Each structure stands twice: as structure tokens, then as C-alpha cells.
Chains A and B, each alone.
Chain A
């Protein structure tokens, strides 16, 4: 790999890890290393001390919260998310997204914390966490704070983490009654980076015929996941039918200037944002009705 010279420490506790992170500005937490090590390998960032938190048991568990949500330790791997009965029982789509991240070897190592904290715009989990209303639990030597996922992702490889702060867990609220989540990506090639993604959460009214509330998140349109509030406004109150969703999603991303890169032009991204948004919302409606219709949806 030819990393630059770097110190490596493996603290015994989160407290010890926070001490090191606070005392050394060049220290960075190492969990699964699936993003960070690539960054270091390419020498686009430099780290003095790698603080290996991957074996800290207190960061590696998935717990049910009192309200029926999930508390997911930052070092829970994609594979653990995929195979967790708790996750699958209440937040099936979260497990599904994790199940489709790259290949099995990467899923064995990569963690939810790393996927979020590196904030690579192509990463899979940020948009679904934003759609599910997740909250990032941050801790430092001096205290704790909770940051909603939607505010956590700040830019290309940038987050709300302050120096010395560590993401310790992600709290995912329960999915309300008559609600479901959907996720759709478009990638050219089976293991390719997605060029656009959409994650959606919808709540249907009691009859199941109308969308009462929605959250529509687009990824790879900007460098961070963004909600399309205008599309949400059109969805809210619309019939929960494919036609109505298609109409509501026709204007998705119209007010945005999607990024252009080698994976897709700005205009192609805009058009594909509409397609993936519709696909995600339709899946979410099906999930809200108790079907797991999104089961074959690529979590890419």
C-alpha cells in the first residue's frame, strides 16, 4: 500500500481514544479502513496517528432504543447491518442498503461510522440515514452532542465532526406506522460507483391511499445528500400511485445544479434523479403497505 509513515495505537476504551484524538491534531480514528486507507494510500490526506477503534466492543453493538428505534455503534460493519435481525425487523431497507455495498470482503470490514465520517459522496449509507431521520451521536473528551444526519454531511469528504470528536453511534428513529423506506441507485456497471441515488421515506394516511408525509433525499446530485423539499411538497397529499408519484417526481432536481463528473453530466444526473426518486418513492409506498417490494433494489 505504501502508506506514509504513520503511528498506530489501539486504545482500550472510547475514553482513551478520545484522549488521544484530543491531544493530537494529526490523529484520526481507524475503523474498517475501507475508505480511510484508500485516502491515505492515494496520499490525498495525511494522518500522523491512526487510532484503531475497530475492536472496541462498546462501538460495535446494535441496540433497540426505548422508542423502538435503533442505536447502531459506529464500528458496526456493513455485514453486521445486513445480517442483524433487529435491523431487518424494523429497518429492513437499511440492512438492504448495507447488503449491497461493494463486495463481501469490504462488507466484512467497512463500518457505518467510516461510511459516514469519510463522507465520500458515492457512499451508500448517508442518503438512507438522512431519509430515515437518523441522528449522529458525537462524543469528545469534553462532552457529547447529537447532530441530525441531514446536518452532519457538510461537503466532499467533510462532516460536522470537530477536532477531537468521535462518532460513537447512529440513532435511527423507529419507522412510524403506515411508513416505509425506499432506495434506488443508478450505476453503470455492477460494482460501479452510483452516479445518482435517491432514498425516500413516506408515511401514508390511514387508508393507505394518499401520501401524508415524505422525505426525499438525493445523493450524487451534490457532494452531500440533499432533500428535495419542493418534490416532497408535491408528494405530500398526492395519491399513493405510480402515476401520481411520477407526476410529483417530474420536477425533481429542477431547481438544482447537479454536479458533473466522469460518471455523468449535470443534465443526465438531473434526469436520472427524477427516475431514481420515483423508483425510491414507489418502493417506499410498497414498504409502507407492508410489502418488501424493494427487496431486489440495488443498494448500490
Chain B
């Protein structure tokens, strides 16, 4: 169903934009004609295999490569010490001290810090030989005590990952907005929660990481064919380490089989492959295997919230929240500790919380390094906010729907400034919730829930997940972590070109992984240039040689519809301007008389006076004698445009500022049935209402909604990455880690409303991450099924054993929650439950 508010008017969105069109790229992808990183190669390449630590934490005593080097077909082996000797510096650190003291090199040096940490890499004439050789390398380890839990890692007595840092704490900061102490003193109720835990999981892309890297000794060029999703970030991080300037890199991506943020994390492997290639004098190809991926390619951030206090008024108005957060970044800081500030894009969640204090600590532990993972860092915080709103309703006996509606940012409040200066651009949360409740048949399920009563062995629960998908980062927020960082703003580049025979080509700095960029970019360009999307070729993936990039180019953080498509819009408009100018010259007309339609420029009202695009291309490229120099200078038919969103540098002391440009919102409603004797959770009904502003292609949007919903449901019920005390990953393969398939995901009913963003040229908002809505909704539904007086759902992951345990927990056992109520002016009467 589609409920559309007033359409955005604009030059750029006339015909093709807004249409639910099937994706152009699907045609080749479903026929097996996609080209992924492992489909590519370079002449003379060897195959790389990483030697990885079986220990969670150990000192490297010795490495004997001789047994591998003596094998036929082995080109070379590179160890961590050797790699370090070839480097000019450790990887660039985002954190100030002590985080910046936690140095990382392309391969582990001196010690290993998590299971899977790479200590050496082999290059051989086949994958088989490389793997066999890697197994013959003898690494002697001296195991060390490990720390695998975030709160424990912050304890000064915990085993240290980096002795030189003297602590496992990467970064600590207090985000303090409003006056939460006042709110806690003056609230009618204070709801206290001991602990909420957001678990580790991954988005499990179909395609694992991979790269083919060549270090050309002649030119000094480093060519990187990979599926890395933010290529110039990798270049900026590894360039200074391996001594390669930006103009000596050539990063290229092709089709990418899913990334979800995880493919921002493997720059150390690319650096190691570059050094390996440099040493061997031939390209190095590496294709990650699934278990390797699960052990090392990056997990989502795990976050534990403790000492949570929520001031609430008697009518259900929530004044704010106070909490301590411990984020566990794993063993190395890949992109971290950016997560320590990214969450603050959504400080009050969907609600008008005015008083918020989060004491935030990020730590390292003997676990796989985290990477951004769909919903990155905001999802963890939003889940906490949704849990407390849900718990407040349950503990105070209020209707969870009414509590949400009372506290939501209201439609008339937009643009809404949050306590930390972020601007929520637009939306209609109460209406989104109403639509979701209707689509999930909540009235019928409430009736069924009452009928079922007790004794049936089954329980029905209804849950709500309200969330935000903030998009188009202001990288200036990184300065809240480290004021010395030279980053702010954002941007993306597109080049629109009329080719020699008048064909239209668009190059972008993005790295699509299933988001349909070729389709939506074509729609936007087609409208501006008077052609159909089929007439526009959008190059697949990223190619540094195209020169269509800025430092932040890539596909991540829900921003393509804004950064990517506004760049396309700008480039296409520039190209249109050149076309019009050339046509006006050729047709002896005024520029404002020229119109573009069907690949032809013509004089409005005089169809005889027309010139096809091939004619204009001919004038510029192959038949330009006698053309005025002024025209040639202005019309090269290669229009490059960099879209830069309007941002200021945040206040790094107050930790305030506009951290992101757009806020898509999602309200999900989930109905579950729980089998009391097993804890099995079955989803009976599921509705997802998405509001991402003006949609360029509603079909692509719905696909993203389905993907994000499936992922969230999978994480909430099936997928968790856990470590034992020694740092062994308990789910290193699909044997242990159940990746949800279509059989596990219920029918998802989608609804949508369009609240155009006033801050973007096209009214669109970035979307695709989904804000973790299913995690919120499933937890809320389980809470509802457990019912009043039962335990609080304190974990984002609720596999059946955990649900069973909650149902079995004895009455009177600690529930993890306490409500302190103030009666008539005095703070007496603790109703401790």
C-alpha cells in the first residue's frame, strides 16, 4: 500500500524518478553475468592465504616459514615483522590517546589479539598450494589470558591487549544534554534497569571479502581490484602506512555481493597484499573463505548499557534517560571509535526526550574487530531507547501505543532540533504507527491474545519498533572523538558524459552492493537529459581512474539517494546545459528555446530544427574545426559535479551540532506466538512502515525494507556471535551460526508514507539500514507475551532457550527492573519488583 503526501515538484523529477521500476542490473545478475571480485584477476598473479592465530590472545614466540618456502609453487611468505619493516607508519588512528596508542600494522606483530589475527601471508601458484603451505608454517605461541566482555575489559585489572596503551579503554566521553539530574529528581517515577545488552552479529554478505592487488615496481602504481565499499578511505588509511601517495593507487570495484558496512573493515588485508605483491614482484589475489570471513571480516558493534535510569511523569511523558554504555570494539580499531559518536545522531530516538546523559566507554577486547554493520552504532542506541519506552509502558501499566504516541516527535515539530543539535528533517511517526498497527491486524491479534488466555501452552505478543535511519553523515562529528581530525562534511561525485556517438554515460564514486544504483541514477539522468533510463549507461562500481570521487565516496550510511543522486542530478544538469548551448549554436536558436526529448535537441515548437545527440558529440569530439573556442572550452561534454551537503563543524566541547542530514523513519509492528514448552518464537504477522521522503524508485526502497527487516529478524532470533573466555568464537561457520533464510522470515507487509526532506535538493532521504527496527519490535513482542510481572527482555538476541528461560524464571526472581515512585512531593515508596 502507498499513502503518498503531496508530491515534491522540481525540475529534476518529472517522469522517470518516482517510478517503481525493476532494476536494470538484475538482468545480468540473475543470469549469472555479474562480475565479482573473484571473477577478476591480473596477469601473473599468485594466490594468497593468510596464516591466522588459533588463539584469542597470545605472544608470538617464533615463526618458521621454511617448510612452506621449500614447497614447489610457493612464491613467498610475508610475516608481520617483515611487513612492519616495509611500512612507514602504523595505520592512521582516528582516536586520540589512549586509543591512538593501540597501533595496528598490516599483519600482527609481537602478539595476536583475537582468534583469526593474521600473522603471515603466503603467495603461491594456486589456492591449494597456498593453503597447504600456510599449514606448514610453524608458529609458536605463548597463550595469554583473554578478555572477551566489554564491561570487564574496561576494568583496570583486565588483561591488556596493548601494554603500550596501559588500558583497554579506547575512548571515553560523557554526552550530557539538558539536566537529567533535575529530571530524575522531579519525575513522578524513575524506572531503573540494571543492564541491557545489544549482541554481536553480522549481516553475512553472500560474497566474502576479496582483492587482487598489484604493486608495480616500474611505475609505483598500486592497483587494487576489490569489493571494498569505501575505496578512498582505504587509500587514505593504508597509503601513509605503505608509503603510497593517493595518485599512485588505482582502486576498482565491480559487482559486490552485499557489504552492509562490513566491507569497510578489511583495509589491513589490502595493505598486506600490496606488500606481499611488492615482495613477490607479482599481483596477489586473495578470496576470503566463509569461516575466515566469520572469524575476521568484522562483526557489528556489541554494546552493554548499565545503570539505566528513566525519569517518567505520571501521564507517561518520558523526560529523558541516564545510562552508562560500554561498546566492545574487538581487537583492533577499524573505523572505530567513530561508533562512539555516530550513535549521537539519534540521541533521543524517535522521542522528545530532553534530558539525556550517556557516559560512553569504548574498549578493545580479544574478539574480532567490529566494523560498521547495517544500522551502525545508531541501532544499538535506538534499541536501548525502544526497550526503555517499552519497559516504561509495561511497568507503569500504560498502553505501549499511547506511550509512544505521547512521546514521539510530532509532525508539526519538524524540523525538530534534538538536545544535541541534530535536526530531524521531517516525518509523521504517529501516522506511521497507526498504519503499521492496521497492517499487522493488531486489533484482531489483541482479541486472539485475550481468547487464548493461560493454559493453552501458547502466548501471543505484540511489539512495536520505532526507529530512525539517519543518513548522509557530517564527518565533522569525528572531531567530537578527536578534535585534531581534519574531517568534516561529506560529498559524492558523478560524471555525466555524452560519448563519441552521443551515448550517455554516468560514472559515480559509489560502490553499489545491491542498492540498484545503476537503475536509480539512470532514472534521474534520464529525466534531465530527455531520454529513457535504458539510454543511460551507469558504470558498474568504482574506478579511481574515472576521477569520480571525493574522500568519502562509497556506499554506506544510508546516503546514496542524497549524495549519489544529487551528484548525478548536478552532473546531468551541467551536461544538459552544455548540450543546450551546443544545440543553440547548431540550430541558430536561443538556449531557452532548446528542449531535449528522445535523444534529440530541438527548438521548441519547430520540430524541423533539431539535432540528435550524436551530432552534438560529433561537433565536439571529431568535427570541431571552426567551432568557436569559447564554445569548445565550455562544452567538453564531460560534466563532473561534486555534491556537498550543507554542514557546519560540530561543537566538539559541548558535543553538539547537526551530525547528519536526513532522518528516514521506520515503524515496525510484530506479532509473535511463543510455544511455552520450548520457547519457540514464531512470527504471525509483520508490518513495516517506512518513510524515507521522496522515493526515486519505490521498488528499490521496498527491497531495502525487506532486506533490513529480514536481517533484523535474523539477528533478533537466530544470529549471534559469541566468544568463550579464552577468546574462541563459538559460531565460526554456518554449522553453528544459523543464517536466516527465506524459510525463517515471515511475510512482510510494507506500508509507506513520503515526508520529503526539506534539506535535500531532491526531497529524498537516504535509507536502507532500517535502524534495527525488527530487533526493537521482536523484543517488544516477546516482552508483551511474557506479560506483566515477568522478566524484562534485556538482550537484543532472544533464541528459544533464552525465551524459555524467561518463561520459566520463578516469580520473585530478579526481573532486572525497579520503579521508584514519588508520592505527593516526597520521594518515598519504592515499588521494587
Contact = CB atoms under 8 A, between A and B. Distances in A.
Interface of A: 2-5, 42-43, 122, 186, 188-193, 261-265, 268, 271-272, 275
A22 B443 CA distance: 70
A84 to B, nearest CB: 25
Given A188-B738, A192-B738, A271-B804, A2 B128 contact: yes
B735 A190 contact: no
B23 interface: no
Given A265-B801, A268-B801, A188 B128 contact: no
B127 A2 contact: yes
Given A2-B128, A262-B731, A190 B744 contact: yes
A251 B463 CA distance: 36
Contacts of B738: 188-189, 191-193
B403 interface: no
Contacts of A192: 718, 738
Nearest to B745: A190
A265 B802 CA distance: 10
B131 A189 contact: no
Contacts of B135: 43
B824 interface: no
Interface string B796-817: 0001110011000000000000
B730 interface: yes
B743 interface: yes
A3 B804 CA distance: 41
A263 B736 contact: yes
Given A43-B135, A192-B718, A263-B736, 11 more contacts: A2-B127, A2-B289, A188-B717, A189-B744, A190-B741, A193-B735, A193-B738, A261-B736, A264-B801, A272-B678, A275-B678
5 shortest interchain CB distances as A-B pairs: A190-B743, A189-B738, A192-B738, A268-B801, A262-B730
B677 interface: yes
A81 to B, nearest CB: 22
Given A43-B135, A188-B799, A189-B718, A268 B804 contact: yes
The dominant DSSP class at the A interface is loop
Interface centre among A4, A122, A188, by most B CB within 10 Å? A188
SS of B interface (majority): loop
Interface in B468-503: none
Nearest to A264: B801
Interface in B655-682: 677-678, 680
Interface in B599-619: none
A3 B129 CA distance: 10
Nearest to A43: B135
Nearest to B49: A2
Contacts of B127: 2
Nearest to A193: B735
B60 interface: no
Interface in B785-831: 799-801, 804-805
A261 B800 CA distance: 14
Most interface-central of B132, B735, B744 (chain A CB within 10 A): B735
B801 to A, nearest CB: 4
B103 to A, nearest CB: 32
B236 interface: no
Nearest to B724: A262
Nearest to B805: A268
7 contacts: A188-B799, A189-B744, A190-B740, A193-B738, A261-B736, A268-B805, A271-B804
Contacts of B717: 188-189
Nearest to B289: A2
Interface string B96-135: 0000000000000000000000000000000110011001
Given A2-B127, A271-B804, A186 B678 contact: yes
Contacts of B678: 186, 272, 275
Contacts of A262: 722, 730-731, 736
A165 to B, nearest CB: 27
A264 B127 CA distance: 36
A2 B131 contact: yes
B54 to A, nearest CB: 13
Interface string B703-741: 000000000000001100010000000110101101011
A261 B804 CA distance: 17
A189 B730 contact: no
Contacts of A186: 678, 680, 800
